[in-house]
Structure formats: structure tokens, C-alpha cells
Amino acid sequence: MTRDPLPDPLLPRRRFLQVGAASAFLCTIGGETVSLSRRGDAAKADAAAARVARPRAAGPTEQQTFTTPEPQPGGQVVEYWIQATTARWTIVPSRRDDWHGKKVPGASTFRAVVYQQMTPGFAAPLGPAAMPGPTLHAEVGDVLRVHFRNALPESLDQALTMHPHGVRYNPEYDGVYLGQYTRAGGFVAPGEEFTYTWEAVPESVGAWPYHDHGPNHTLNTMRGMFGGLVIRPKGEPVPAVEKVLFLHSLAPPVTGLKRQFQCINGRSFAGNTPTITAKVGQEVALHAIGMDNNFHDFHIHGHRWKDSRGGGHTDNPTLGPNETVTARFVEDNPGRWLYHCHVFSHQDAGMAGWYLVE
Amino acid sequence: MTRDPLPDPLLPRRRFLQVGAASAFLCTIGGETVSLSRRGDAAKADAAAARVARPRAAGPTEQQTFTTPEPQPGGQVVEYWIQATTARWTIVPSRRDDWHGKKVPGASTFRAVVYQQMTPGFAAPLGPAAMPGPTLHAEVGDVLRVHFRNALPESLDQALTMHPHGVRYNPEYDGVYLGQYTRAGGFVAPGEEFTYTWEAVPESVGAWPYHDHGPNHTLNTMRGMFGGLVIRPKGEPVPAVEKVLFLHSLAPPVTGLKRQFQCINGRSFAGNTPTITAKVGQEVALHAIGMDNNFHDFHIHGHRWKDSRGGGHTDNPTLGPNETVTARFVEDNPGRWLYHCHVFSHQDAGMAGWYLVE
Amino acid sequence: MTRDPLPDPLLPRRRFLQVGAASAFLCTIGGETVSLSRRGDAAKADAAAARVARPRAAGPTEQQTFTTPEPQPGGQVVEYWIQATTARWTIVPSRRDDWHGKKVPGASTFRAVVYQQMTPGFAAPLGPAAMPGPTLHAEVGDVLRVHFRNALPESLDQALTMHPHGVRYNPEYDGVYLGQYTRAGGFVAPGEEFTYTWEAVPESVGAWPYHDHGPNHTLNTMRGMFGGLVIRPKGEPVPAVEKVLFLHSLAPPVTGLKRQFQCINGRSFAGNTPTITAKVGQEVALHAIGMDNNFHDFHIHGHRWKDSRGGGHTDNPTLGPNETVTARFVEDNPGRWLYHCHVFSHQDAGMAGWYLVE
């Protein structure tokens, strides 16, 4: 669509650093601090994570035991088998930005770490090794029983977890590394399994993230270890169109790639990010969740909705890291629409997608 | 007011870059990616925008036609004529910060691109070529019919648009460049006109931004192509004091100026930013809208109000790019008050103004 | 807990600057602009603040006089004596991150400037010279009468103030330096006292910050001049557990220290930040307030609550500078929990703490 399509400028190194500088930060990984500021730094964080030893049996408070919760009367046990695994992940599979009609040259494939849904007993893959992980569903009164396996290869020797938002859990199922206070579910080493039990309580209604909260949680979350939880009131019908959309960046220190990508669900640029389709009259629920160090806002062209946090109508609410905003409406406006983060520099670097309404 | 008023330090180049680094980002402009990170980079973005060709007639989805909406029974057609034009724009006309009693030395004039209100048929200017563009008003049930003309000079050969928030529109009137899927209103070349029709529906009540969403939208929005829309319930009286306040920055890569200005409505520092006046007993509505890559919050001294997004009272809500928060109250507190963004570094760099109550 | 605990890497200078670059900004201090971007720059800001002369009697608007408010019928005068003073402040007293079981080597002590509670007539200290200042409490209908003394040493020759959020006050008690429009309470020089009178009105219910808003407000706020106000409905019982938590950073240009600390109430890393304790069945109210240039969000493991700004339930709301979000719930989930900012790079640099429930 342009007279003179040019490749992306290969920025001189100094300018690359300048433009990408916002992605630099320090990680605390067990006993070490690692700077994630340059390509290649992920390997240093992984090496630090490999040095984190399994915590000893913890002190008095942590010897407290907890009962594994069961469903409320009328509720169910909803079981999932999920493994953590690596995946060759391509951020721009089409090598094209379908919004601007633009080629996106250059490499965009890296080794992601993701949650993959498996059949019962981890017998076989049930879903792809993809970003985000599977969306977990439950109704109020149910418990989620999530069997988690760390299936990382030997080359990535580090403990992982699943930490959920929104649902209720006792400390046994928090899925967090806490140094000497760590419980079993907070340090699942390669080859190990752990079963988390989470309760869908009335205040859990909505969409929430889950993510790694092990010793190397920041790097792991930033390279793909996240997914969504959707909790519905008992018996409430599922919207015809429902999608969890993670807004996040994939940065050079994390990916080893040359450029920073602004992503939705691990993909950059329209045609690669999720293309959402709906029909007039359908109930639509889009849950946008922040999943990096930045703040975002979430705009859908041609639509407004009641702010999920109360008050009036919005078409562009702010969301922070691991915060959810939900756009919910009955579709009434056919056409090809853009949805995107309205931080201009995120939008222009790929955080945009198509919403197509018949 | 100071013993020893000094000029602004002329920062050594390295420190200037350091302090200004947050303003660097990449723009996607049709088939090209341009880094806006240094003074002068705006010219590169404009050159890229000039190379964006008019999109062909688009594919099947985009051949769908839409009916131009008419007002609801009892509603009106509210017409505006608005042109995009350049303006010599001075960010600190008084060369003074009236809050701190401080001179603001150095150049603050650059070539902005703005929306200007015209008389019917574009016969003559009806308002200034200023930042922000005119505030457009409608009531629920009305349609806004906005005649838009791209009156850029030959030296700025690029297509422009008007993209509104909050109101309802079909894809014909989205005002967005979408590459091969672009409709006529998404690519208004210099010398061309297009008429947008937008509906004020019940969920449109409130204040919203409009802005350029053509091929070079990021640069254009950041150099002045934005304005406000205020939609009221049918017959609701206009508040005695109402103002749309855009919180944004004017950065060296955009302006070519030496320093970064933190602005309200294109102006920096109290006495240059809008001085708002009210009387005790008057209904006051101040709509703060983010209009850059940053997040802000909006504080008015001496006042609190019910959060426009629901919940309790606030005096300092957060707002993201193109998000609105409204401070609405009946004035009861006379005096000279500051209003400002409460990000300290924005406040100190000019994002503050006077609110005077008799 | 780690096989090989290493000291923090001493970052080479270039990388240190890169990682810390986000902390650089300009301050306007009376007639001068000072860049806070390097260690040692605080001294330049202080020198500029010392050059700010006491404003003359201001012009006509400012000669307006105001009546000092009295309590509503049934309300009380709640008096506080508070002085501003310096304090040797240690950010990581334990030199340890109790979450990760990690040593935190390196210096973390600097000269803070803080609000200290005194007995009536400033006779003696009633509380520590600590960060944050004392939490001030009132009920709707009360007035807060806050006697403030600038007790800075001669070496820090600058005017200070107390500026509150949330409560009602007339311009006499705004506590803000306004250049030539400054009232007495906006310029309290070393050795001077001023009594502020603030009204707890119905819309004041909630938790709010107070902070310095004198000529050098940005630096002073960033080195400790802030505290909390909690206003309750008349007669409402105090929650069994209530805490005001300030989320902020202590950066090298402010502290003169080598590294940037991400803090809660002036402390970094679990075991140094507040350890909050509660019992099952207790009413808990935690008020998180942003107090730097950044945006944060506030997550408590194992808990959800109704968003204090309206709408559904949350476990991780966004907050901006000087914005409050309140997590309020009846405790029902015993165990050792983390609370933290969910900006990953803040969490990993110390913005996390323990919440222990019996």
C-alpha cells in the first residue's frame, strides 16, 4: 500500500539502546540480583535460577497445615492438567503488519516458556504449547484442581509454579517461592508435579491472570508463563464471544531478539495478534490484562461499554500489570474494527489487532 | 521572587539525552518504521507519511456499505466545519511560570498541526488555529456531522483524519487509516474534504477526545491534532464552568525544541496553561484527558469529587492516553487554587495551572 | 537458601546509569530549574531552595481573608504537633531480603527529611522521626488543627509546608508555595511555626496523603516528607487492622546511594517493609498510596476485595502518584502472605512485604 516500502531501519547500536532502554530492570532470583538490560541477559538469570536450592522445611508458621478445599454444595471439581514447557515461539508469523500493509522484516522467533494443557494424567497434549496458556473456567462454588508438571528440559534447570489471581486458596496452593517459607507448591523442580486446589468464591467472578511465581518469576512471566482464569456465577451462560487478551512486551533482554515487540497474547501486529470475530446480537466479553512492567489502556474502535470497575461508560480504560479490565457489550455495530492499546508507542510497535463483526 | 534568578541550565548534551530519553519511541507509518528519538526526527516521519499511497478499493468485507445515520426523534443534526492546518505555536507565551514567579527562557515556538473550526462551507475561520481543536457538543439523540478538510500546506504532503471516542459510528466514519482496508474517511489527502457522521447515543454521555488516526497519527497527535467531544443527556443544562483539559507532553523529537515541555492544552506553566475561573455556587465540570504516551493523574487543590468511574471520592485520579476523568462539583471554596498532574516531574516541567474562584 | 549466595553485582557505571535512567527528572524550585539525574544532585536542589526568598505580601486576590473553620455540631478539634526534621534513615535495616532469603549488601543509609509527631507545644517527641510521618485521624464533622514547625538544621535552609489531600481547607491552609501568591502556610522557614486547620467533610471519608508543597516539594517528598490522613464517618469503629502503605522509590539522585530502592514506607525488601499482622475475623483496611513519579499496582496474595473506586472485585488495582486505593475485607484466610506492587521490576527491587494472618 505504499509507494516505497522500505525494510525496518536497522538502528545504529547506540540508538537501539536508547529506544529500548525502558526495558531494562533488575531481577531478584533467590540469593542473586541479575540485570535484565541487554540481549543475552536471560541466560544469566537462568543460571542464577539454577543455583536456587530447594528450601528446607520451613519454620513454625509454615509448619501449619491446611485442608484441601472441596466444592460447595452443587459445585464441581474442575480438573486441569498443565505442564510448563519450552516452545519455539514466533512473534510475527506472517512477517507482516496487516493494519499498515507493511512487511515486518527481521527475526521474531525465540524460545518461550509456556503453560500447555494436557489430557488427564499428562498422557498427551490437549492444547498447543502457546502463549498464553489455556484459559481455565469455573463457576462459583466449584474448585479448580490443577495438576501442574514442570516439564522444562535439562538445559533449563529451575523450579516453576502456578500462582492464580482472583480465586481463593490457602497458603498450600499459593504457588509462590518464599525462600525459607516456601511450601511444596512454590518450588516445583523439573520433572516434578504438584496439584493446586483453588476455590471459585462469589468475589472471584470475572477474569484474572495466573502466572509463574517461582524463584525466576519475572523472566519466566515475561517470556510466556501466563494464562487466564474466567470465573462465572453459577449457571450463567457463557458469552457467545469471550477472549482473554494479555497486553505485554517481549523485550531484547528476554528474547535475545534485536527489537522490542509490543504484543497481545505473544504476537505483534494485526493479523498476528488475535483476530476476534462476532456477529450482531451476540454477547461479547473481552478481558484485557496487563502482563509486563508497563501500564496500558484498551481501546476498541466503534464500541463503548460500562466500565467494569464501576461508574460511567468508557472505551479506553487504564490497566496495570496483572490488572484486568473487561469490555462487555451486546454487539450492534458490524464492520472491520481495530482494537489496540492507546499508548501510542505500544500501538505502533504491534499492540493492535482486528475485531471483525458480521 | 528569588534572590538570584538564573536562566535554565543549558544541560550538556549527554545529560539532555538522559533526561529526555523517555520521549523516544518508534512510529509505524504505512510501510515504514521511524524512530522519534532526536530533534529533527519529525521530518523523517513526515517524509515517510508522504510516501504512503492512497489505499486501493479494499476487499470484500470493506466493500460493505453503510447507511449514514440520522438523528433520533427529537434530536438534531449538529454541524461543524473543521480544517487541519499548521500553526506557529508558542508553548510558553508569557516566557514565565506564574506559579514559581520564574522566567522560562529559551525558545518554545514550533510548527504545530491542529484542528481549526471554520464557518459553514469553510468560508472563514470561526475559531483560532489552536491546541486543542474546538470542543464539539451534542445531546443524546443528535448526530454530529463534521465536515473535515485537510488544509495542510504542500510542504506537509500527508493524509489526515478525525477519529472520535465515545460516540457511535459505522466503519465509514471511523476516521482511521487501515492500509488496504481503509475507507474514504481514513485517508483525507491535502486539499480533500470528508464529512463524518457520528451518533450521540446514551452511552456517549461524557467527555471524550478526537484525534488524527491517519498514517502518521502518532506524530500528528503529539504535535496538536486533538480536541474534545462533550455529549450531554437530552436537555441537561450546560454547567456554568466546563473545560476540557488535555494532559500531554511536547517533546524535542516532535517539536525540534531543546527541552521537553509538560503541557495542558499545548501550553506549559501556570499563566500559560488555561486559567479557569468560577464563582461559588456554580456547577463546574473539568474533563482531564491524557494525550501522550504517559500516564497522569489530575489534582485540584481545595476540592474533592465523586470519582467519575464510580466508587468514593477522589481528588487525584489516574488517567491513561486518551482516557477521560471528570471532576464535577458545585463550587463552594473561593480562592486561588492550583490544578496539576501529580506526577512530580510533570508538574515541575509545566503541567499545572490556576483555578480562580470568586 | 541458595547454594551460592553472591553479593549484588556492582554494575559497571554505564549499566548503572542505564538501569537507573528512569529516575532522572527536572525540578522547578522557585526561580531555578535543577536536574535530578545523578548522585549529588540533591545538594544542587537544596542550594536552589535556599535561594528562594520569602514571598512579599501578595496582590489583591491574595489579600482576601478567610475564617478559620470550627467543628460541626458534635464534632471535635483534633490537634497535632508535627515538626519537619532530618533523620538518618536506613532503607534495609536487616541488610536482608526475607522473601528470597538473600543478603542485601551495600549502603542503604541516607539523610531523610520527615514529619515527626511531637507532644503539645512541641515539648518533646511523641513519635519517631520516621518515614512516613504520623497518620492523622479525624471523623466527619471534626477539624484537624495541625501545628507545624520547620525544625530543619541550618545546613538545610529552606521553607517547608504540609499540604493535605481529601480534607477541605481554605487557601490559608492549602500549604502550598505559590510564588508571589503564597500565603503564610505555604512558606514556613526554618525555626518558624504555622497552624493548619483542615475540615473533615463527608466527602473526605477515606485515606489520603499529606506532603510538602513548599518551594522544594519534589525533592522533599521524594526523601520522606509525606504521611497519611484517615477520615472516618462519625462514630464508625476503627478497623482492627489498619495501615497506610506508601509505594515509592528512593533513587540515587535523591539519596546519594549507589542503587535505586523500590520502597514501602521508606523501606525495601520483606522483613524491612511493614510486616502486617491480622487474625481471622478481624476487619482489615490497607490503604496503598503512590508517592513517587511512577504508577504502581497493589496485590495481596490470597485475598480479593471490592474495588474502592467502585465496580467488581479486584486483587490488584492501579494507583498513581498521590492516589489511594483501599483494600478492605474481613480476614478469613490464615497464613503467611506476600503483598507487593505487581510491577515486576518494582517487586524485585524491594516493593514487597509480609502479611501474616493467624
**A313 interfacial to chain B (CB closer than 8 Å):** yes
Please list, residue by residue across B299-310, b when 16 or more beta carbons sit within 10 angstroms of its beta carbon and e when fewer do.
bbbbbbbbbbbb
User: What is the rounded distance in angstroms from the CA atom of residue C196 to the CA atom of residue C173?
Assistant: 5
Tell me whether residues A323 and C314 touch, CB distance under 8 A. yes
Helix (H, G, I), strand (E, B) or coil at C79: strand
Q: What is the pLDDT of residue C26?
A: 84
Partner residue opposite C312 with nearest CB, options A163, A169, A308: A308
Give the minimum alpha-carbon distance from A273 to chain B in angstroms, rounded to a whole number: 15
Partner residue opposite B349 with nearest CB, options C26, C37, C53: C26
Which residues of B are less than 8 Å from C57 in CB distance?
none
Question: By mean pLDDT, which of A23-32, A325-334, B88-97, C138-147 is the weakest?
Answer: A23-32
**B344 interfacial to chain C (CB closer than 8 Å):** yes
What is the band of A298 on the pLDDT scale with cuts at 50, 70, 90? Answer: very high
Question: By mean pLDDT, which of A237-246, B39-48, C349-358 is the weakest?
Answer: B39-48
Indicate the pairing of strand A352-357 with strand A276-278.
parallel
Partner residue opposite B336 with nearest CB, options C26, C52, C178: C178
Residue, of C59 and A324, whose pLDDT is higher: A324
Q: What is the pLDDT of residues A332-348, one digit of tens each?
A: 999 999 999 999 999 99
User: What is the rounded distance in angstroms from the CA atom of residue C309 to the CA atom of residue B325?
Assistant: 13
Q: pLDDT exceeding 90 applies to what percent of chain B?
A: 82
Residues C271, C336 contacting (CB under 8 angstroms): no
Which residues of A are less than 8 Å from C314 in CB distance?
309, 323
Averaged confidence pLDDT in chain B: 91
What is the band of A7 on the pLDDT scale with cuts at 50, 70, 90? Answer: very low
Q: pLDDT exceeding 70 applies to what percent of chain C?
A: 92
Q: What is the pLDDT of residue C46?
A: 93
Chain A: partners with 3+ C-beta pairs within 8 Å: B, C
Q: What is the pLDDT of residues A137-195, one digit of tens each?
A: 999 999 999 999 999 998 999 999 999 999 999 999 999 999 999 999 999 999 999 99
**pLDDT exceeds cutoff 60 at A1:** no
**A4 interfacial to chain B (CB closer than 8 Å):** yes
Helix (H, G, I), strand (E, B) or coil at C346: helix
**A3 interfacial to chain B (CB closer than 8 Å):** yes
Please list, residue by residue across B228-248, b when 16 or more beta carbons sit within 10 angstroms of its beta carbon and e when fewer do.
bbbbbeeeeeebebbbbbbbb
Residues A91, A50 contacting (CB under 8 angstroms): no
User: What is the rounded distance in angstroms from the CA atom of residue A296 to the CA atom of residue B322?
Assistant: 11
Q: What is the pLDDT of residue C58?
A: 56
**pLDDT exceeds cutoff 80 at B279:** yes
- Predicted model pTM: 0.93
Tell me whether residues B302 and C22 touch, CB distance under 8 A. no
Q: pLDDT exceeding 70 applies to what percent of chain A?
A: 92
Give the minimum alpha-carbon distance from B331 to chain A in angstroms, rounded to a whole number: 22
Interface of C with B in 162-221 (CB under 8 A): 163, 165-166, 168-171, 174, 176-181, 201, 203-206, 208, 215, 217-218, 221
What are the angstrom distances between the C-alpha of C113 and each of C48, C83, C132, C216, C257?
A: 17, 10, 10, 12, 15
Nine-digit cell string for B157: 504532503
Tell me whether residues A178 and C336 touch, CB distance under 8 A. yes
Q: What is the pLDDT of residue C60?
A: 55
Q: What is the pLDDT of residues B77-136, one digit of tens each?
A: 999 999 999 999 999 999 999 999 989 999 999 999 999 999 999 999 999 999 999 999
Residues 6 or more apart whose Cβ sits within 8 Å of residue B60? none
Chain C: partners with 3+ C-beta pairs within 8 Å: A, B
User: What is the rounded distance in angstroms from the CA atom of residue B354 to the CA atom of residue C36?
Assistant: 26
Indicate the pairing of strand A241-250 with strand A261-264.
antiparallel
Question: Sign of the C-alpha dihedral, residues C14, C20, C25, C27?
Answer: negative
Give the minimum alpha-carbon distance from A324 to chain B in angstroms, rounded to a whole number: 15
Any idea how long chain A is? 358
Q: What is the pLDDT of residue A16?
A: 33
State the ipTM, two decimals.
0.92
What is the band of C195 on the pLDDT scale with cuts at 50, 70, 90? Answer: very high
Using left for φ > 0, alpha for ψ between -120 and 50, and beta otherwise, residue B93 falls in alpha
What is the band of C38 on the pLDDT scale with cuts at 50, 70, 90? Answer: confident
Any idea how long chain B is? 358
Partner residue opposite A100 with nearest CB, options B61, B179, B307: B179
The residue of C23, C203, C213 whose CB has the most chain B CBs within 10 angstroms, and thus the best one to mutate to test that interface, is C203
Using left for φ > 0, alpha for ψ between -120 and 50, and beta otherwise, residue B322 falls in left
Q: What is the pLDDT of residue A209?
A: 98
Tell me whether residues A26 and C345 touch, CB distance under 8 A. yes
Going along chain A from its start, the domains and CATH numbers come out as 25-357 (2.60.40.420)
User: What is the rounded distance in angstroms from the CA atom of residue A145 to the CA atom of residue A79?
Assistant: 5
**pLDDT exceeds cutoff 70 at C13:** no
Q: What is the pLDDT of residue B7?
A: 27
Q: What is the pLDDT of residue A64?
A: 82
Average pLDDT over residues C346-356: 96
Which residues of C are less than 8 Å from A26 in CB distance?
19, 345, 348-349
Helix (H, G, I), strand (E, B) or coil at A188: strand
Residue, of B230 and B27, whose pLDDT is higher: B230
Partner residue opposite C35 with nearest CB, options B19, B342, B344: B19
What is the band of A20 on the pLDDT scale with cuts at 50, 70, 90? Answer: very low
**C222 interfacial to chain B (CB closer than 8 Å):** yes
Q: What is the pLDDT of residue B277?
A: 98
Average pLDDT over residues C49-76: 85
Q: What is the pLDDT of residue B3?
A: 30
| Neighbour count for residue A241 (Cβ, 10 Å) | 17
Partner residue opposite B322 with nearest CB, options A103, A297, A348: A297
Q: What is the pLDDT of residue C65?
A: 86
Smallest CA-to-CA distance from C323 within B314, A191, B63, A264 is with B314
Tell me whether residues A30 and C2 touch, CB distance under 8 A. yes
**B24 interfacial to chain C (CB closer than 8 Å):** no
Q: Please name the residue of chain B whose CA is at the shortest distance from the CA of residue A6.
A: B32
User: What is the rounded distance in angstroms from the CA atom of residue C98 to the CA atom of residue C166?
Assistant: 35
Q: What is the pLDDT of residue B66?
A: 93
Work out the angle at residue A295's Cα, subtended by the Cα atoms of residues C29 and C211, and round it to the nearest 5 degrees: 35
What are the angstrom distances between the C-alpha of C160 and each of C68, C126, C152, C185, C221?
A: 21, 21, 9, 9, 10
Chain B: partners with 3+ C-beta pairs within 8 Å: A, C
Average pLDDT over residues C223-243: 97
Give the minimum alpha-carbon distance from B175 to chain A in angstroms, rounded to a whole number: 10
Q: What is the pLDDT of residues A41-92, one digit of tens each?
A: 899 999 999 999 998 765 556 678 899 999 999 999 999 999 999 999 999 9
**A102 interfacial to chain B (CB closer than 8 Å):** yes
Please list, residue by residue across B333-354, b when 16 or more beta carbons sit within 10 angstroms of its beta carbon and e when fewer do.
bbbbbbbbbbbbbbbbbbbbbb
Which residues of B are less than 8 Å from C175 in CB distance?
none
Q: Is C121 exposed, middle or buried (0-12, 13-18, 19+ CB in 10 A)?
A: exposed
**C22 interfacial to chain B (CB closer than 8 Å):** yes
Average pLDDT over residues C201-213: 97
Q: What is the pLDDT of residues B18-39, one digit of tens each?
A: 333 345 778 889 888 898 888 8
What count of CB pairs under 8 Å joins A to C? Answer: 181
Q: Please name the residue of chain B whose CA is at the shortest distance from the CA of residue A313.
A: B203
What is the band of B216 on the pLDDT scale with cuts at 50, 70, 90? Answer: very high
**pLDDT exceeds cutoff 80 at C62:** no
Residues 6 or more apart whose Cβ sits within 8 Å of residue A204? A140, A166, A167, A168, A231, C304, C313
The residue of B157, B167, B181 whose CB has the most chain A CBs within 10 angstroms, and thus the best one to mutate to test that interface, is B181
Q: What is the pLDDT of residue C63?
A: 74
